[in-house]
Amino acid sequence: MSNFTRRKLLQTTAATAAASLLPASVLAAQAPAAAPAPTKRKNNIHQSVSRWCYKDVSLEDLCAYSAKIGLKGIDLLDMKDWEVPARYGLLCTMGYCGGGTIPKALNRVENHDEIEANFRKNIPIAAKLKVPNVITFSGNRMGMSDEEGARNTIAGLKRVKSIAEDNGVTINLELLNSKRNHKDYMADHTAWGVRVCEEVGSTHVKLLYDIYHMQIMEGDLIATIKENIKWLGHFHTGGVPGRHELDDTQEVLWPAVMRGIASTGFQGYVAHEFVPIHDPLTSLREAADLCDV
């Protein structure tokens, strides 16, 4: 054995012997830190996050962070992105698949052919990729009465309900406020949306109850949610006023609303849809903590 090899062997042996004499606490401190485990949630509320609110964060990074803080999925993704959350153990909890636009959708019969064609093509893809919900809208009034708009929307949803039923996907008609953000939007009250869903009569056609929008239009959140939970398929959050963080600058008592939702046995998703004005990922974690009742 050469002098060099012998010297290296003796040094290694000495170092190993010395290490064996160190206290376990010192050895633990010297070991590389393990990656923190994902936050464990109570899962009384299955939380998600809306993609569009985090435009400065890549989708991959948003997925990775969402998984880390115990969320279940990413909301409001275009079809091209539906497969991305699965890489992180998440779902696309609500997808766009051609259900019209906020101003132009189901309350006008001339839009029904296009919406039906889109759903026939895309809802089977949603089912294959385990996207449980897709979104649609009423459209704006543009002089139309709420009664006529309801009849048209019912007719349009009846045309597509079997597509949703056959594929195990839920079509969610979003309720929005027409007071501050979406002037003239027709589906701006829970009662209108519930009437539509009741007449369509399908467990796969429900409402996207946006808590931010409905607080602006009618308040009475907890009682309304409990009374109509049969027809509520999905929820969105957002601070009122301003649609920013769920903090003490706004008026909704989020833990109480979440307890109200949980008390119904709701098994769908509550997606955070606020536009952060502070550090976005910190704000998302704080919202997830607040709503983990």
Q: In which band, very low, low, confident or very high, does the pLDDT at 30 lie, cut at 50, 70 and 90?
A: low
Q: How far apart are CA 267 and CA 233, in angstroms?
A: 9
Global pTM exceeds 0.85: yes
Q: How far apart are CA 233 and CA 241, in angstroms?
A: 24
Please give the pLDDT value at position 34.
Answer: 54
Q: In which band, very low, low, confident or very high, does the pLDDT at 5 lie, cut at 50, 70 and 90?
A: very low
Q: How far apart are CA 259 and CA 293, in angstroms?
A: 6
Q: In which band, very low, low, confident or very high, does the pLDDT at 2 lie, cut at 50, 70 and 90?
A: very low
Please say if the pLDDT value at position 167 is more than 50.
Answer: yes
Please give the pLDDT value at position 13.
Answer: 43
* Contact residues for 135 (Cβ-Cβ < 8 A; gap 6+): 76, 94, 95, 96, 99, 171, 172, 174, 208
Please give the pLDDT value at position 32.
Answer: 53
115-161 pLDDT per residue, tens:
999 999 999 999 999 999 999 999 999 999 999 999 999 999 999 99
Mean pLDDT, the chain, as a whole number? 91
185-237 pLDDT per residue, tens:
999 999 999 999 999 999 999 999 999 999 999 999 999 999 999 999 999 99
Q: In which band, very low, low, confident or very high, does the pLDDT at 33 lie, cut at 50, 70 and 90?
A: low
Percent of the residues in the chain that have a pLDDT greater than 90, as a whole number: 87
Please say if the pLDDT value at position 12 is more than 60.
Answer: no
Please give the pLDDT value at position 26.
Answer: 45
Q: Average of pLDDT values for 239-268?
A: 97
Could you tell me the CATH superfamily of domain 42-290?
Answer: Divalent-metal-dependent TIM barrel enzymes (3.20.20.150)
Please give the pLDDT value at position 37.
Answer: 80
Percent of the residues in the chain that have a pLDDT greater than 70, as a whole number: 88
